């Protein structure tokens, strides 16, 4: 086990690599990634130098939402493999010094989950229905949904069952919300936590952590925006309800019973930094994704504002900041940054928010490399979504008939959804599926573009200046330089278009500095030892636009 990971506080500065199992690597040739594929690629992850992997849901699922609809939380989806294979993966990852975090989906189950099937089979008003959110409809014959809540994928958040009642689903109809006030729901999920902790996993990423509790009066949203404004005096009826914190306090006591203690990372979209930090109080979750950073446009003032707000809000509760550029729900950053960044709304995260703007892929590629080095120099932890180490762009032209994301259907064909960042990874520049599946396999579950050969792992391996080698070197330096942990950051004076900061001095008084040029003209750098740059410096050693450099002086 490597030095840093051997400590209980490894999560305070970990680089966590997200594996979306359907799209990572397919060993058995059915066109869908699997656990055997992940195991085969552990050497890639070890060479990359990540501290942990987070695996998106691998449980049995009818795949109404690509696995975020779980029908059994204590088993493995056969398409992905078996429990025995999961155990082997956990052991093999640990042997490489890599921690394993898995996804838990507590806001909703699949509609095929035994508890929901029992609720459907039982009568209105039965105890079985109390585990979920069944209600009578409005209108003279109950023909209208109980309130105006909308599904995140589009359309009403309610579906009617044959006996006339409606059930709540903040996502797809195949994802009924559970009622977290019910002790059986709490006991069920606690058992699931223990089931996996006992198998040796190191933590959970918590899906929609801000959604579990509701205002149980179920009032209409009535056009209330979310995230709410910074100074809002009221709460939203189904996001970020104060009662949710009690659930995570209970979960923390379970995680703390283990040795070493297990950790949680919350998926929490609440906007307001102090509301996010509330989830990170010492008796709640360990970390949360920093979506404000992910959504910040590539503009110096915006990035600096988000970095400062993040550091301040996390410091207030003693939690490490985290940084993230992409995941399986948002447009790949290389394509986001390929667009003009001015005037992008603060929540622009999916392709539909900026697809109309002309894209410059080379610019996006340069910026995303600069962004990666900026992110990895900041204090705290970082998340890397699979394929970012190859510089993969969003696939923007998946044909309508190939789209799988429920967003496409639920939005009535107006929103293509998230499939563009979920296209199976290219591992080899040759081969029918760029090595995602063995040759001769079924077609990949989403079609791959014809021009991905240059992004493949083998096309970048050992190639000086490739994105893969940039990530490898950056992660190696992060491990070697203790000052890149979760210590302080000090902004340095520099031109307006530059973000420049120093990290704490090492034992010899030498300081690590990170300089990012977001302007259009090269900028002179201070004297110092250049450790790594996201692109070539100018002939006279200046920092070109959209480039980050790490140096020591």
Residues in the site for ligand NOJ, rule: CB under 6 A? Answer: 65, 68, 105, 171, 207-208, 267, 328-329
Q: Which CB atom, from 35 or from 212, has the smaller least distance to ligand NOJ?
A: 212
Q: Distance of CA 206 to CAs 84, 243, 269, Å?
A: 23, 16, 12
Minimum separation from the CB atom of position 43 to ligand NOJ (A): 27
User: CA torsion angle for 178, 179, 181, 185 (degrees, to 10)?
Assistant: -30
Phi/psi at 303 (nearest 5 deg)?
A: -65, -45
Separation between Cα atoms, residue 474 and residue 373, nearest integer Å: 7
**Cα dihedral 350, 353, 354, 355 in deg (nearest 10):** 70
In degrees and rounded to multiples of 5, residue 123 shows phi and psi of -85, 160
d(CA 220, CA 146): 9
Tokens of 368: 């995303």
Integer Cα distance of 441 and 436 in angstroms: 10
Which residues are 206's β-sheet partners?
A: 104, 266
Q: Which distant-in-sequence residues (6+ apart) come within 8 Å of 115 by Cβ?
A: 109, 128, 131, 132, 178, 188
Complex with ligand NOJ: residue 325 or 457, whichever CB lies closer = 325
Nearest residue to ligand NOJ on Cβ basis: 68
- Residue 5 vs 107, nearer CB to ligand NOJ: 107
**Of the candidates 130, 127, 149, the residue with the CA atom closest to the CA atom of residue 138:** 149
Q: How far apart are CA 276 and CA 285, in angstroms?
A: 11
**Does residue 105 contact residue 58 with C-beta atoms inside 8 Å?**
no
Q: Shortest distance, CB of residue 392 to ligand NOJ, whole angstroms? A: 18
Nearest to 26 by CA among 370, 434, 551: 434
- Identify the burial level of 235 via C-beta atoms within 10 angstroms of its C-beta, where 0-12 means exposed, 13-18 middle and 19 or more buried: middle
Q: Which residue has 């205002």 as its token pair?
A: 215
* Under 8 Å between Cβ of 181 and 250: no
Q: Specify the residue, 171 or 197, whose C-beta has the smaller distance to ligand NOJ.
A: 171
State the nearest-atom distance from the C-beta of 16 to ligand NOJ, in Å: 14
Closest CB to ligand NOJ among residues 404, 516 = 404
Which among 237, 20, 234 is positioned nearest to 149, based on CA atoms?
Answer: 237
Residue placing its CB nearer to ligand NOJ in the complex, 169 or 339: 169
Q: How far is the C-alpha of 338 from the C-alpha of 50, rounded, in Å?
A: 27
Rg (Cα) of the chain, in Å, rounded?
23
Is 297:289 a contact under the CB 8 Å cutoff?
no
Beta carbon of residue 395, minimum distance to ligand NOJ (angstroms, whole number): 17
Min dist CB 68 to ligand NOJ, Å, is 3
Of the pair 151, 548, the CB lying nearest ligand NOJ is at: 151
Catalytic residues: 207, 257
Q: How far is the CB of 385 from ligand NOJ (least distance, A)?
A: 11
- Alpha-carbon distance 24 to 58, whole Å? 12
In this structure, are strands 511-517 and 490-491 parallel, antiparallel, or unpaired? unpaired
Q: Shortest approach of ligand NOJ to residue 277 CB, angstroms? A: 21
Least distance to ligand NOJ, CB of residue 363, Å: 28
DSSP assignment letter at 502: E
Kindly state the smallest distance separating residue 180's Cβ from ligand NOJ, in Å: 15
Residue 163 CB neighbour total at 10 angstroms: 10
Residue 519, both tokens? 């302007």
Residue number, 292 or 329, with CB nearest to ligand NOJ: 329
Task: Output 34 or 267, the one with its CB closest to ligand NOJ.
Answer: 267
């Amino acid at each position: 086990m490597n030095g840093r990971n051997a400590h209980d506080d490894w999560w305070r500065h970990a680089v966590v690599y997200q594996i979306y199992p359907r799209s990572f690597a397919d060993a058995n040739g059915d066109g869908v990634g699997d656990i055997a594929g992940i195991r085969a690629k552990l050497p890639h992850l070890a060479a990359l130098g990540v501290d942990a992997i987070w695996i998106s849901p691998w449980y049995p699922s009818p795949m109404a939402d690509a696995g975020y609809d779980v029908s059994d939380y204590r088993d493995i989806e056969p398409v992905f493999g078996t429990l025995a294979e999961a155990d082997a993966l956990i052991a093999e990852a640990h042997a490489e010094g890599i921690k394993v975090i898995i996804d838990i989906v507590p806001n909703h189950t699949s509609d095929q989950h035994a508890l929901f099937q029992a609720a459907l089979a039982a009568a209105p008003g039965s105890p079985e229905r109390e585990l979920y959110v069944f209600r009578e409809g409005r209108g003279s014959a109950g023909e209208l949904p109980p309130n105006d809540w909308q599904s995140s994928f589009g359309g009403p958040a309610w579906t009617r069952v044959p006996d006339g009642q409606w059930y709540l689903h903040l996502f797809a109809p195949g994802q009924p919300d559970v009622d977290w006030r019910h002790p059986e729901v709490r006991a069920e999920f606690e058992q699931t936590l223990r089931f996996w902790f006992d198998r040796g996993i190191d933590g959970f990423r918590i899906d929609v952590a801000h959604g579990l509790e509701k205002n149980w009066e179920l009032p209409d949203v009535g056009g209330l925006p979310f995230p709410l404004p910074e100074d809002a005096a009221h709460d939203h009826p189904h996001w970020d309800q104060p009662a949710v914190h009690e659930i995570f306090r209970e979960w923390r006591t379970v995680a703390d019973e283990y040795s070493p203690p297990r950790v949680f990372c919350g998926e929490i979209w609440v906007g307001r930094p102090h509301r996010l930090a509330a989830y990170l109080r010492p008796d709640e979750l360990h970390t949360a994704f920093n979506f404000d950073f992910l959504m910040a446009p590539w503009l110096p003032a915006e990035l600096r504002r988000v970095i400062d707000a993040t550091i301040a809000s996390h410091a207030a509760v003693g939690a490490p900041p985290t940084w993230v550029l992409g995941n399986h729900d948002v447009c790949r950053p290389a394509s986001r940054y390929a667009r003009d960044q001015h005037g992008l709304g603060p929540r622009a995260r999916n392709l539909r928010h900026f697809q109309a703007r002309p894209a410059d892929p080379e610019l996006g590629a340069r910026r995303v490399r600069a962004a990666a080095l900026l992110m990895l120099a900041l204090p705290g932890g970082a998340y890397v979504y699979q394929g970012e180490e190859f510089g993969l762009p969003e696939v923007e032209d998946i044909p309508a008939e190939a789209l799988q994301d429920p967003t496409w259907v639920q939005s009535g064909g107006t929103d293509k959804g998230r499939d563009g960042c979920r296209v199976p990874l290219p591992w080899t520049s040759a081969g029918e599926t760029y090595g995602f599946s063995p040759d001769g396999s079924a077609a990949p579950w989403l079609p791959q573009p014809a021009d991905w050969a240059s992004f493949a792992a083998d096309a970048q391996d050992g190639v000086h200046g490739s994105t893969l080698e940039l990530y490898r070197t950056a992660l190696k330096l992060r491990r070697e330089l203790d000052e890149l942990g979760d210590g302080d950051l000090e902004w340095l004076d520099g031109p307006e278009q530059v973000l420049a900061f120093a990290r704490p001095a090492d034992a010899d008084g030498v300081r690590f500095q990170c300089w990012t040029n977001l302007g259009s003209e090269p900028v002179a750098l201070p004297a110092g030892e250049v450790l790594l740059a996201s692109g070539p410096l100018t002939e006279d050693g200046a920092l070109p636009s959209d480039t980050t450099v790490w140096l020591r002086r």
